[in-house]
Amino acid sequence: MSAIFCKPLPLTIMGSSTETVAVPKNLTNDEPGMVWRSSTTSGYVVVDTENRFFDTIAAVGSNQRNSDTFRLRMANNLLDVNGTAPFDQTYPAWTGTAPINDAISLVVLDSPVTYRYIRIDFVSTSHPSGFVEVCRLVVGKRVVNVGIDIGHEEVFDDTSAIDEGLGFTTIDAYQIRQQHKVTISHVKEPDYYMNWRPFLGSVGMSKYFLYVERTNDPHQQHKTFFVRNTAPAKRINAGWDQLSTAVRFQAIGAE
* 36 vs 15: CA distance, rounded Å: 12
Identify the domain boundary among 87, 115, 140: 140
pLDDT band at 148 (very low <50, low <70, confident <90, very high): confident
Q: Does a structural domain hold residue 148? A: no
Answer yes or no: do 133 and 69 share one domain. Answer: yes
Give CA–CA dist 146/4, Å, rounded.
10
Q: State yes or no: pLDDT of 142 exceeds 90.
A: yes
Q: Distance between CA 180 and CA 66 in Å, rounded?
A: 26
Examine the domain organization and report whether 159 and 185 are in the same domain.
yes
Categorize the per-residue pLDDT at 254 as very low, low, confident or very high, splitting at 50, 70 and 90: very low
pLDDT of residue 36: 95
Q: How far apart are CA 235 and CA 243, in angstroms?
A: 7
Mean pLDDT of 131-139: 95
Residue 146 in any domain: the answer is: no
Amino acid 251: pLDDT: 77
Q: How confident is the model at residue 241 (pLDDT cuts 50, 70, 90)?
A: low
Q: Are strands 168-172 and 176-187 parallel, antiparallel or unpaired?
A: unpaired
Q: Which ranges in the chain belong to alpha helices (H)?
A: 78-81, 189-191, 197-203
**Number of domain units in the chain:** 2
Domain that holds residue 181: 153-251
- CATH code: domain of residue 46: 2.60.120.260
Residue 172, H or E segment: strand 168-172
Q: Has residue 255 got a pLDDT over 70?
A: no
The 10s digit of each residue's pLDDT in 26-43 is 999 988 778 999 999 999
| Cβ–Cβ < 8 Å for 220, 212 | yes
**166 and 203 housed in the same domain:** yes
What's this model's pTM, rounded to 2 decimal places? 0.88
pLDDT tens for 168-212 read 999 999 888 888 888 988 888 888 899 999 999 999 999 999 999
